[in-house]
Amino acid sequence: MEESSPRMTGGTREAPVNISPAVAANAEGEEIEVLESTDVLPVAPEEVQWKSLFDKYDPENSGFISTERFRDLLATHGSELDPHKLEVLLALADGNADGKICYQDFVNLMSNKRSNSFRRAILQGSRQLKGCSLRDEVGLGLPQRLVRHVAYETLPREVDRKWYFDSYTYCPPPWLILAITIAEVAVFMYYGIQLDRLVLQVSSPNFLKSPLPYHPQLRVQAWRYLSYVFMHTGIEHLSLNMAMQLLVGVPLEMVHGALRIGLVYVCGVLAGSLAVSVTDMTAPVVGSSGGVYALVSAHLANVVMNWSGMKCQFKLFRMAMALVCMSVEFGRAVWLRFYPPAFPPCPNPSFVAHLGGVAVGLTLGVVVLQNYEQRLQEQSLFWIFFCVYTLFVLCAVFWNIFAYSLLDVRVPPAP
């Protein structure tokens, strides 16, 4: 069993704990029902430990123990468990209409496995779990308060918030969004010095000569469909994107991990440049708006879809402010696109990348954020949206190969 650091709750110091909510509900009084799990899990060392304990109460090797024996097990070994987990186990015993506990459900819970059967139990429940809210915990240090704040910012279920709070260790830290932001600032400062301007760098004749921006004449250079994220039209562009990227991206990465958030971010960036190449065929692209708008749109959609469960403070005001920031940045991009370019015939950078990011956030991003600690490969909706996204990418690639010549598009010369 992995142990987390001790905590103070209600003025009493608790023992080191190990938490995993197999069957539980949120603080709103959501109900649960125990479903028999059919997942087949590999036998890990800690699972061997739990199997030997389970076998002591299952001498017939039937794979089940009665709820009475299960309560005896908890009475004997409950002091070794975290109160959150003990609370779930007692509900597991009380709520099972069959009067017996399945071995696989027991091992899943004790080994921190969160399977689809547990999610169905949460959604199809028939009994309430009553326990103190995570917000009522006292005596927490600054790192623990930050984790609790992030939990309430991003997760709609109290059981998920408790599990995240007890299991998060800051290892690894949220490095991906921070690394991308640092790289964007470094590139901006480099070109700020080289071009001798920080505001509206795009007005410099050498701005698009960088190997990073997407340019329709150079679309054969495939890396530009992603590398444009590190270039910005000016400090006003970088500041808005960086603020939204850090305020939304870092908490999401702390909860969902770098792999999932990186998937949404990169898909938004790629969708942004491909959307420009299809709909605004003569315009270049710069800025991280595709990835940023994918993350922000997915988060806002997740908040709206789970409005009653989200317990972040001032959520209506903060959501309105996020929409204002997105609108200001999008309005700036639209204005710049139709503003007379400094060096015609090449137009100013397109704004369509923002819309590509929003489309990714409202589809693929929402699925990723809704399935906290669930395997994405087991979610049919994830594969539907992923296949649609892949189809869009393939169609956009063929469009870039054939459409420009077939439509006789007059692409501005390379910078």
Domains of the chain are 50-125 (1.10.238.10), 175-407 (1.20.1540.10)
pLDDT digits over 166-217, tens only?
778 888 899 999 999 999 999 999 999 998 888 888 888 889 899 999 999 9
| Active-site residue identified among 289, 297, 299, 350 | 289
User: Can you tell me whether residue 188 is helix, strand or coil?
Assistant: helix
| Catalytic-residue membership of 308 | no
State whether residue 66 is helix, strand or coil.
Answer: strand
Task: Name which of 93-97, 227-231, 386-390 the model is least confident about.
Answer: 93-97
pLDDT at 252: 94
Cα 44 to Cα 58, 112, 205: the distances in Å are: 20, 12, 61
- pLDDT reported for residue 13: 39
The pLDDT tens digits for 133-155 are 777 777 888 988 899 989 888 88
- Could you tell me the two tokens for 31? 């109900």
- Average pLDDT across the chain, whole number: 79
Write down the residue that tokens 């609108």 correspond to: 327
Q: Write phi, then psi, for 348 (nearest 5 degrees).
A: -70, 165
Assign 112 a pLDDT band (cuts: 50, 70, 90): low
Q: What is the model's pLDDT at position 91?
A: 60
Between 92 and 118, where is the model more confident?
Answer: 92
Report the range of poorest mean pLDDT among 43-52, 245-254, 339-348, 386-395: 43-52
What distance in Å separates the CA atoms of residue 215 and residue 59, rounded to the nearest whole number? Answer: 71
Establish whether 289 is a catalytic residue.
yes
